[in-house]
A = this chain, B = another copy of it.
Amino acid sequence: MHDEPIMDVAHLGHLEIFTPKPEESLRFFVDVMGMTESGRKGDSVYLRAWDDYERYSLQLTASKTSGLGHAAFRARSPQALQRRVKALEGSGYGIGWHEGELGHGPGYRFPDPDDHVIELYYETEWYEPPPELRPSLKNQAQRYPARGVGVRRLDHFNCLAVDVKANREFFERYLGFRNTERIVLNDGTEAGMWLTCTNKSYDFAYTREAHGVKGRFHHVTYALDSREAILQAADIFLENGVYIETGPHKHAVQQTFFLYVYEPGGNRVEVANAGARLVLAPDWKPILWTEEERKKGQAWGLKTIESFHTHGTPPLPDQHRSEDDEGSIAGVDDLSEKGIAS
């Protein structure tokens, strides 16, 4: 009889994103994305979508550059947290406990094999809306703010990784994530992998970093309730001068209906809808996509835009930038020059 699945991680809790343009990034997330500020501490502003049950799902931190601060998952129970910490300590990857963060209890931090900082915590602060943000229906975390895109909840994130397979195996082994789909190139290496700890078909994804630079970030995604809401978002981004990179369209991988933009700090942000798709099978067998299949583009034939393979945050150090990359891996200043960032 095979081993039983590890069910210790409950869900993605929040992301910390660095921005070199904190005020403009904040305006983007509040005014355009329609999120609500729910705290400030040090260089960070904490933000939430209206259906996030915890106090926040995004920690926006002023920084010299862009990229991922850390990604945090909530454990299923105090015991589950202890089990994962023990496993991580045994893996040689553990960093240690991090305390005093806004909104949740002690978090255990560790790097993945690509040096992104990941955090695991259990104790958390449930969001208590002030009177003017109390919802009409008591089974909802916060009043729906009919402002901008009006994102519902944090959905997933995507990092770049030099060695995708090593990261997949790390998260499978030590944290119990399940791999639902992956891209395997003709040379046998992996170019992308999607992992879940819930019934969503993925809670995060890692795709290949083409320049050999570790720790880079690809995008954060917020969920909307319908594909129509994604189309409305496209108009809202257009009207607000937000650079739309690609979409709306449907991914072949995971079938997500997607729309990618760059926030003013340079980080890629996605709004997405999965319809009623869930992965309910406890023994789901990973879908393997070949190099040839991926060349066909997205579900309805849209060719994958070049910058999608190259743009990440923070921007690449100069020695890693080729002429070809210049447009697509543009940092914030470059975007401004091109008039594609506000």
Residues of A near any B CB (own CB < 8 A): 1-2, 4-5, 7, 10-11, 34, 51, 53-54, 74-80, 135-140, 143-144, 146-150, 152-153, 155, 181, 198-200, 223-229, 231-232, 234-239, 241, 244-250, 252-255, 257, 259, 273-278, 280-282, 284, 287, 289, 293, 299-302
Q: In the complex, what's the smallest C-beta–C-beta distance from A316 to chain B, in angstroms? A: 23
Which are the 7 A-B pairs with shortest beta-carbon distances?
A: A225-B275, A11-B280, A223-B276, A10-B282, A199-B199, A228-B228, A76-B282
A239 to B150, CA, bound (A): 14
- In the bound complex, do residue A140 and residue B255 qualify as a contact, i.e. CB atoms below 8 Å apart? yes
- In the bound complex, do residue B228 and residue A226 qualify as a contact, i.e. CB atoms below 8 Å apart? yes
| A54 cross-chain contacts in B, Cβ below 8 A | 281
A236 to B239, CA, bound (A): 22
Q: In the complex, what's the smallest C-beta–C-beta distance from A174 to chain B, in angstroms? A: 18
Given contacts A76-B282, A282-B77, contact A239 B146 (CB under 8 A): yes
Given contacts A1-B78, A138-B287, contact A299 B53 (CB under 8 A): no
- In the bound complex, do residue A299 and residue B79 qualify as a contact, i.e. CB atoms below 8 Å apart? no
- In the bound complex, do residue B300 and residue A244 qualify as a contact, i.e. CB atoms below 8 Å apart? yes
A150 to B139, CA, bound (A): 26
Q: Who on chain B is nearest to A285 by CB?
A: B126
- In the bound complex, do residue B280 and residue A248 qualify as a contact, i.e. CB atoms below 8 Å apart? no
12 sample A-B contacts, Cβ–Cβ < 8 Å, listed by A number: A2-B77, A11-B281, A76-B282, A77-B282, A137-B299, A140-B255, A146-B148, A146-B239, A198-B278, A199-B278, A238-B300, A273-B276
A159 to B272, CA, bound (A): 34
Q: In the complex, what's the smallest C-beta–C-beta distance from A152 to chain B, in angstroms? A: 5
Residue of A77, A135, A148, A289 most packed against chain B (CB within 10 A): A77
A280 to B295, CA, bound (A): 35
Given contacts A153-B276, A236-B146, contact A281 B53 (CB under 8 A): yes
- In the bound complex, do residue A282 and residue B74 qualify as a contact, i.e. CB atoms below 8 Å apart? yes
Known pairs A137-B238, A234-B300. 12 more at Cβ < 8 A? A1-B78, A5-B76, A11-B280, A11-B281, A11-B282, A139-B253, A146-B149, A152-B277, A153-B280, A198-B280, A248-B249, A302-B302
